[in-house]
Structure 1
Amino acid sequence: MRNQRNLLALTLCFFCLSCSTFNINNPQEEYLPAAALQPFGRYLLNQEQKLELVSSAVHFGFSFEGTECQLFASIPNANGHNYLQYELDGVYQKRIRVAGNAKEPIRITAPTTGKHIVWVYKATEAYTGPILISSITGKKLKPLKNPVKPIIEFIGNSITSGAAADPSEVPCGSGVYHDQHNAYMAYGPRLARTLGLNFVLSSVSGIGVYRNWNSDGPTMPQVYEQVNFQEYNAQLWDFTRFKPQVVSIALGTNDFSGGDGKKTRLPFDSASYVNSYIKFVQQVKSKYPPAQIALLSSPMLNGKNRQTLQNCLTAVKSKIDAAYPTDKPVALYFFQPMRARGCSGHPNVEDHAILAQELVPFFKKLISAN
């Protein structure tokens, strides 16, 4: 009996020693809740303390040590899907499909041990619905804050969103509309990275100033203040969270659109466009009084429409400058015509690189003057 007790004690001792050794060699992973993250762009922290990524290219950063961490992401629609994309140690990696019925976390792996920096972006836009971040697990996790730099807010439509730009995984004409979204590679984020700036995208596919691609509204002036750019939403965005030095507005492509050819569409109305645009610029100036306003034309318009748009934007500038004589004058930029190579006539990722490079001198001058 004594021998049995000694054997049991010896076995328990060995078991405890084994457990202790396991904990030393495999330290428990840490848990970083979504509430600790510091996102940049439009977002919400819901009642369940999940981070809702709302706008195109809204992003957050964190660091970890080792070779792997896990990101717990989901979407409200169990039958749908959405997309994230990420950088690892300053190098863009890929888009990640987030399925509505996903049970496993997203695993982010690094080729070496040591400390790694990750920035995660929403690849799609607000209308696709939020992507919910619950938590991150890994070793020595730390949330990161965007470095203090000047901010550009890019207001626009599908072009600004990076929509229909990336058919590398899902070919044009197949899947659903947001399968080809790539906000990270859109001209605004590219431009901001080139100039070392922070950025926010406030963009909606198909939207215009006085009318949309195939409808009379709701237009950007009607939804700009809603957190998710949806007219029905009573929750407003808190414009004090970010203070852009420059606000870039690129709206007009959809106002000029002929629609789908089935729904009745009146000819473009220059007066309605200019008057609505003036009111929208005033709306934006009320949110960011010191900001420099920059109006961009459309690379997708050519011929008579291109010239008409430029004339309209010049008229908007003239009216705003006269109404705000002590403010910085409105800046204008007219894109060079482009034969877009993306889906449904949109710029693809290579085209966005051209657009960004074209804009560098213009925005560099504006930022240096502010």
Structure 2
Amino acid sequence: MRFRFLLSLTATLTALNCAAQTTIKFNDRHIHYMGRIAMRDSAAELSWSANSIKINFSGTGVSATLRDERSDNNYNVIIDGKVVSKLHPEKDKKDYVLASGLPAGKHTLELFKRTEWAMGKTWFYGLTLDKGSKILAAPATHKHKIEYFGDSISCGYADEDTTGQDRGSSPYENGYISYSAITARHYNAEFYNTSKSGIGITVSWFPLVMSEMYDRLDATNPASKWDFSKYTPDLVIINLFQNDSWIVKLTDNEQFKAKFGTTAPTDEFIINAYSSFVKSVRSKYPKAKIVCILGSMDATKTGSPWPGYIDKAVAGLNDKNIYTHFIPYKNTNGHPSVKEQQAMADDLIGYLDGVISW
């Protein structure tokens, strides 16, 4: 009898504790999402670099219910504007404590996806607030809005690999400290990072090129189309051609053969392809300022023809709200490090301050 009583008491206390907590479903209006995120029947599906979930709440702690496609993604947990931990969700649906023991009062929580869609999807089911906590009004959408179309540099590929091995696996990728995220935070801007490591304009290290990916909600599904009316940036930044600059020289590369056969593309072909992509972006965002940048890897090395291709493509568009800017070659091996990403952001911000009036 005593054993049964203890079981009953434990169950009762557990039920009372759960009842005291506040559960916030993934589709609650108090949650602010950033980035292209697919809202499914039971969860929000996060895949793109810099996808984020943000809430304001009053209380002492919060947890999240998540499931990851391959347990290959990482997230920054940001409390009151400061990164406090890194979360690595597992393949099974689980609850994760994001913050506990906070001072009673108002707080902001953000869960920021450090990794790109190549690492798979994460399903977010909702949040649970500690006893005595409550959800507050959703964080306001920032006044300024940016969208990036880029490659590994914009994703923060290998930026945290300090060994010199330039590893692109998820532990070493941190999109939160990429130049794209740093620049957006500098301007207190909302930003979407529609980027993928290895992608190009004319050719990529895989079959997909940017003109085929830029309008997708789920980048892995050609039939999944993004509704451009859901997010209209004031500023678009395009940082592409680094991968093209390598692959167009590799006549034995599988993707070279698939795109070009046996003959490398002409300058005219390259310029026209870039121009065509920028036209596509302009058709989606007729009022945005578009800045076509390149750097800071060897596509901007002295003597490289690739900045000239971009200059010619943009000049041919005859659009006074499309600009070009080239970030100097960093003159080191591999992808930009944490320090080099910051240097890129500083360079880009210095340029934008002269041409963009928000």
> Same fold by TM-score, threshold 0.5 exceeded?
yes
Using a 3 Å threshold, how does the CA distance of structure 1 residues 26 and 121 change in structure 2: closer, same or farther? closer
Is residue 233–residue 285 contact of structure 2 (8 Å, CA) maintained in 1?
A: yes
Which amino acid in structure 2 is aligned with residue 152 of structure 1?
A: I
Which amino acid in structure 1 is aligned with residue 253 of structure 2?
A: K
SS of the residue aligned with 1:351? helix
Structure 2 partner of 1:347: 336
Mean CA deviation greater in 309-318 or 80-89? 80-89
Structure 1 partner of 2:182: 190
Q: Percent identity?
A: 23
1:67 equivalent in alignment to 2:60: yes
Structure 1 partner of 2:155: 161
Distance (Å, rounded) in 2 between the aligned partners of 1:175 and 1:362: 30
Structure 1 partner of 2:3: none
1:96 equivalent in alignment to 2:87: yes
Distance (Å, rounded) in 1 between the aligned partners of 2:309 and 2:218: 28
Is residue 56–residue 136 contact of structure 2 (8 Å, CA) maintained in 1?
A: yes
1:38 aligned to which of 12, 24, 32: 32
Structure 1 position 76, deviation (Å): 3.0
Which amino acid in structure 2 is aligned with residue 92 of structure 1?
A: V
Structure 1 position 144, deviation (Å): 2.4
Mean CA deviation greater in 311-320 or 80-89? 80-89
User: Which has more radius of gyration?
Assistant: 1
Mean CA deviation greater in 152-161 or 261-270? 261-270
1:361 equivalent in alignment to 2:350: yes
Is residue 110–residue 116 contact of structure 1 (8 Å, CA) maintained in 2?
A: no
SS of the residue aligned with 1:318? helix
Which amino acid in structure 2 is aligned with residue 67 of structure 1?
A: T
Which amino acid in structure 1 is aligned with residue 275 of structure 2?
A: I
1:210 equivalent in alignment to 2:223: no
Structure 1 position 272, deviation (Å): 2.1
Residue-by-residue CA offset, 1:143-175 (whole Å, 9 max, x unaligned):
62343311111110010011111237xx67598
Residue-by-residue CA offset, 1:71-94 (whole Å, 9 max, x unaligned):
1111234xx331111211111223
Distance (Å, rounded) in 1 between the aligned partners of 2:101 and 2:275: 49
Is residue 69–residue 108 contact of structure 1 (8 Å, CA) maintained in 2?
A: yes
Residue-by-residue CA offset, 1:182-201 (whole Å, 9 max, x unaligned):
11111011011112222111
Using a 3 Å threshold, how does the CA distance of structure 1 residues 81 and 99 change in structure 2: closer, same or farther? farther
Structure 1 partner of 2:143: 149
TM-score (norm: length of structure 2): 0.84
Structure 1 position 110, deviation (Å): 4.9
Which amino acid in structure 1 is aligned with residue 241 of structure 2?
A: G
Structure 2 partner of 1:263: 253
2:317 aligned to which of 299, 315, 320: 320
Using a 3 Å threshold, how does the CA distance of structure 1 residues 357 and 304 change in structure 2: closer, same or farther? closer
TM-score (norm: length of structure 1): 0.82
Using a 3 Å threshold, how does the CA distance of structure 1 residues 112 and 334 change in structure 2: closer, same or farther? same
Distance (Å, rounded) in 2 between the aligned partners of 1:34 and 1:187: 29
Which amino acid in structure 2 is aligned with residue 263 of structure 1?
A: N
Is residue 156–residue 174 contact of structure 2 (8 Å, CA) maintained in 1?
A: yes
Structure 1 position 340, deviation (Å): 4.5
Is residue 300–residue 328 contact of structure 2 (8 Å, CA) maintained in 1?
A: no
Distance (Å, rounded) in 2 between the aligned partners of 1:311 and 1:336: 14
Q: What is the root-mean-square deviation in Å for CA atoms of aligned residues?
A: 2.8
Residue-by-residue CA offset, 1:178-223 (whole Å, 9 max, x unaligned):
22111111101101111222211110110000011x35x3210012
Residue-by-residue CA offset, 1:31-61 (whole Å, 9 max, x unaligned):
000011231111011122x011121101121
Distance (Å, rounded) in 1 between the aligned partners of 2:105 and 2:293: 44
1:298 aligned to which of 295, 300, 317: 295
Is residue 297–residue 310 contact of structure 1 (8 Å, CA) maintained in 2?
A: yes
Distance (Å, rounded) in 1 between the aligned partners of 2:161 and 2:100: 25
Using a 3 Å threshold, how does the CA distance of structure 1 residues 206 and 303 change in structure 2: closer, same or farther? closer
SS of the residue aligned with 2:298? coil
Structure 1 partner of 2:193: 201
Is residue 256–residue 268 contact of structure 1 (8 Å, CA) maintained in 2?
A: no
Using a 3 Å threshold, how does the CA distance of structure 1 residues 235 and 363 change in structure 2: closer, same or farther? same
Structure 2 partner of 1:229: 219
Distance (Å, rounded) in 2 between the aligned partners of 1:303 and 1:366: 21
Distance (Å, rounded) in 2 between the aligned partners of 1:347 and 1:304: 14
Q: How many residues align?
A: 334
Distance (Å, rounded) in 2 between the aligned partners of 1:306 and 1:40: 39
Structure 2: which 5+ runs fail to align? 1-8, 257-262
